[in-house]
Chain A
Amino acid sequence: MTDIEAVWRHESGRVLATLIRLLGDFDQAEEALHDAFLAASKQWPKTGVPANPRAWLVSAGRFKAIDRIRRRAKFGEIAREIAAIEEEAWMPGDAEPIADDALRLIFTCCHPEIPADARIALTLREVAGLTTEEIAAAFLARTPAIAQRIVRAKNRIRELALPYEVPEPDQLTERLDAVLHVIYLVFNEGYSASHGEAAIRGELCAEAIRLCRQLVELRPEPDALGLLALLLLQDARRAARVAPEGDIVLLADQDRSLWDRAQVAEGTALVRRAFAQQPVAAYTIEAAIAAVHCAAESAGETDWAEIAALYDLLRRADSSPVVELNRAVAIAMRDGPEAGLALVEALLARGELGRFRYAHAARADLLRRLGRHAEARAAYGTALQFTEQEAERRFLAGRIRALAN
């Protein structure tokens, strides 16, 4: 990677965020960002990378934008914007407002006025710097569909003149929820390995963590702390989750020496910090569960009583059937497969999880452990019906074969 490419990776999102604030328009800011990097690619090989490349790029981009507006004004377009841009107070080297700009931009991209499916795409492109094509690949969507979603979201920002600002304290909690949810989805998309290239998936996880870190640095709200802890603890196990051939390795079978211990330590410390604040967020409880898993030297040493207790707590914060399912699995580990099976079957009888592959796979696994092999095979078969992802299909088919012998 050349110096300029490295700077692009680290700085383009933040430079863009500041240019959007200064110019008040996404497209003009993107043009200016492009111009600034073009100028850098001409000048830096001769002069070296400046001490503060971000300030240099913002300054160059702003200058180019003014220049461009002036030039266009000659062809009859109005140029009253120039005065506004030139008046805008901005001092190179002033790091604080720039850090705030990145945060402002996330809040704008995740604004409730923007359709939920466009928020992720817009955040990934404008804040994380991914290309339209990369986003489409990560979400297994067509590039033109993602591109139009982004265009429409930007139009909406312009039409409604959505402000670039961190919301006032009275709205912050609600708006922060939307931002954290987008970060959570970005991470899951990278982590769940359902599709897409491995390299892009890893980048999505890294970006989600970076965004969450920024949020925590600027607003250490309990929810944000909890989410950062959760992402770090999940991501710490990423290398051990997939075998070299691409097959899924279950938590119980993972080589725990592959876990990133430094990240586990950081995540665990964050869980403690988040738990000290009220109210305890759902993300924090999920992170605490991950921390208990990470604390076990081997699968056999996992403290299932603690995990089951945390799921009881989580159920109060988030009563979704998926949480109930995970709780049932934890109880099965604590009290034996029979207790878990009763809970899973009661859940399936409620109907909401009828097409959820993990519910059928969990039931199959409990039946298998109880020695009810024919029923287990049938349940794995049902799970297989609802599974599209190749590695998961191989895993389930393998289980069915093993039970046939």
Chain B
Amino acid sequence: MRYVCLVHMGHDIFKDFTEADGRQLDRDSLDYDRELEAAGHFVAAQALQGPESAVLVKVRNGEISTTDGPFSETKEYLGGFILVEARDMNEAIRIAAGIPLAKLGTIEVRPIYTIPDPERP
């Protein structure tokens, strides 16, 4: 069963970070990805650039409209994700608890939903 661990971060979590702290966090995060890979849990992971880099897209009546990301109104934003393979929800929670950013932000663990394919029942 696959679960996505969505890393939510507050705007101010890095405010007391030194450059060395940042490098350490990057190293720990990459190490954790490798650890998950070795254990057969890792499917994919990405960190994301900040919400100020985002564009929101929607199509209404055939017309594309775009706006800036809603970064200013929201306290928390999506900072990245890890897609994992786990036996069950509690194993996924254990994996999420090991993510280095769990100590600073909040990890949302969501089971993936497989869209039923009418071609392949």
Contacts and interface: CB of A to CB of B under 8 A. Distances in A.
Interface of A: 27, 30-31, 34-35, 38, 68, 71, 75, 125, 131-134, 143-144, 146-147, 150-151
Contact of A38 (B31, B35, B39): B39
A34 B90 contact: no
Given A75-B31, A133-B88, A151 B1 contact: no
Contacts of A143: 89, 111
Interface SS, A side: helix
A75 B88 CA distance: 28
A31 B88 contact: no
Given A133-B1, A150-B90, 14 more contacts: A30-B91, A34-B91, A38-B39, A131-B1, A131-B87, A131-B88, A132-B89, A132-B90, A133-B88, A143-B111, A146-B89, A147-B89, A147-B90, A147-B93
Q: Which of B27, B31, B94, B97 has the most CB of A within 10 A?
A: B94
The 10 closest A-B pairs by CB, nearest first: A131-B88, A132-B89, A132-B88, A147-B89, A132-B90, A38-B40, A27-B94, A150-B90, A143-B89, A147-B90
Interface in B34-48: 35, 39-40
B68 interface: no
Name the residue in A31, A75, A132, A134 with the highest tally of chain B Cβ atoms < 10 Å from its Cβ: A132
Interface in B48-93: 87-91, 93
A133 B109 CA distance: 14
B108 to A, nearest CB: 11
B27 to A, nearest CB: 8
17 contacts: A30-B91, A30-B94, A31-B39, A34-B39, A34-B87, A38-B40, A68-B35, A75-B31, A125-B88, A132-B89, A133-B1, A133-B88, A143-B89, A144-B89, A147-B90, A147-B93, A150-B90
A147 B31 CA distance: 27
Contact of B28 (A35, A75, A132, A134): A75
Contacts of A68: 35
A71 B94 CA distance: 18
Contacts of B1: 131, 133
Contacts of B39: 31, 34-35, 38
